[in-house]
Amino acid sequence: MDSPSASILQQLRSLHPDDFEAFVAEIWEHDGYNTTVKGGSGDRGIDVIAERDNLVSERLLIQAKRYAESNTVGSPEVQQYASLVHQQDAANAAVIVTTSSFTTQAAELAEQHGLNLIDGDRLVEIIDSNELESLVDEYASGDHADAAPGATERPNPEPATQAAGSQFSIELVALRSEAEIDRYTDGVYTETHDNPNANRIAAFFNIENLGGHIKLKGHRSFTFKSTDGYDYKVSPESTGGLRFSMPGSWRSSIDLSHGQTQNVVTISTEIPAGVTIDRIEFDGGDDHFTFELTPETKATLREKTLDLDV
């Protein structure tokens, strides 16, 4: 039987990321703060702003990471958030709240930068001490006014965690596997492989350049992450990041000018049978995104109808 703490974390991890941000805001509301949920692709890493005026004015910047237990928050994510916080005016403190945990290196880096970390266990303690269990139930059931019922009905069920100072807006819009890959990629492997797409995953993204000129190299940028601790890079045969908005436009790099949007498909190397992929990471140097893949998210993304000109 699950412990009460495990049950609470399971409920929180089932929330849509937007709902988790709203829930985190309510925790601070309960403590006397006025909160603003930023959210969306333009939040640039700050999810909630909490403010109050007592003897002195307080302004807290909060990042909410609704992660699976196995998806720990590492030092690169802490560094990115710290860099963002240092650019803000009139911020008294910064907090990262997660339903998972922090690596030792992340905790050490947070201490150096004066960031406050709240992991899943500490979050449960806060919920318990403030008697907010019923609020968790409301969000998990979709009964709360700020909760969006049926997260799987949303068009983008698992948006990326956007890095501080990022120049990208990037959305994972669909997943396909094995034989389905050929249907949407015009048989990119068929000339060189007898069974080209066995145990592979194709991930379809929409990418928008928010500033400057950017050149993407897909085979260096995307990694399929597994629960067994192994990483599966993009298949060299798929040439990495591939445009799919025009027939015959497969290429390993893509140039985007400011304001341009591009559709991209990237295909994994062969994944051993029985291995579960639980997230996809994009690393573009200063731009880092994590796409968490819960079973519900995978089902939704695989059912999505793609109207692609390929």
Q: What is the pLDDT along the chain (310 residues), one digit of tens a residue?
A: 456 677 899 889 888 878 888 999 999 999 888 998 875 444 457 889 999 887 778 889 999 988 878 778 888 788 878 877 777 767 788 999 999 999 898 899 999 989 999 999 999 999 999 999 999 988 888 777 665 443 333 333 344 444 444 566 778 888 888 767 766 665 554 443 455 556 788 888 877 777 766 666 655 678 888 876 677 777 655 544 455 544 445 555 667 777 777 777 788 877 887 788 888 887 765 667 788 888 888 888 887 776 554 3
Whether 263 contacts 277, CB under 8 Å: no
Q: Count of CB atoms within 10 A of residue 125's CB? A: 13
pTM for the full predicted model: 0.51
Indicate the pairing of strand 288-292 with strand 231-233: unpaired
